[in-house]
Amino acid sequence: MRLPVTYSLLIVAVTVVCNLAERWLPFLLLRGREVPPLLHYVGGILPMAVMTTLVFYCVRDVSFACAGGWLPQAIAVGVTAALHLWRRSTLLSIAGGTACYMLLVQAVF
């Protein structure tokens, strides 16, 4: 089913408005006030919680029946963690881990 262009543009417009509102709302609500301690805590813990959730999501269907089912994921997770510990760069970690996984799946296993 193909959507008319007006529906597609409306979907994009609603997405943009929601995204901008989500980003601007905290600044508008906290304008001129000190940031509450709970927000500092959530801001510090949330990135790690999101990454942990993504790791579990990505490895949830790993099959241990053969090495080709789990070894590429295990190596890629290790490479991602090592890159992040070495350089503290999220972009490098994700790109390096993804490239490692794709190389292993396409060329090795």
C-beta separation of 61 from 73 below 8 A: no
What pLDDT is attached to residue 47? Answer: 86
Euclidean distance between CA atoms 47 and 102, whole angstroms: 25
- Residue 87: per-residue pLDDT: 96
Our CA dihedral for 82, 85, 90, 95, rounded to 10 degrees, sits at -20
Query: What confidence tens digit (pLDDT) does each residue in 90-102 have?
Result: 899 999 999 999 9
Instruction: For residue range 46-90, list pLDDT tens digits in order.
Output: 988 998 998 899 889 888 899 888 999 999 999 999 999 999 998
Q: Is the pLDDT of residue 1 over 80?
A: no
Label residue 107 by pLDDT band (50, 70, 90).
very high
What residues have CB less than 8 Å from 59, skipping those under 6 apart? 73, 77
Cα–Cα distance for residue pair 41/62, rounded to 1 Å? 33
pLDDT value for 51: 84
Alpha carbons within 13 angstroms on the beta-carbon side of residue 22 total 6
pLDDT tens across 2-49, in order?
889 999 999 999 999 999 999 999 889 889 899 899 989 999 999 889
Nearest to 79 by CA among 63, 61, 102, 109: 102
Q: What are phi and psi of 4, to 5 degrees?
A: -65, 155
Q: pLDDT at position 2, please?
A: 86
Regarding pTM above 0.95, the answer is: no
* Domain residue ranges of the chain, discontinuous segments joined by +: 1-33, 37-108
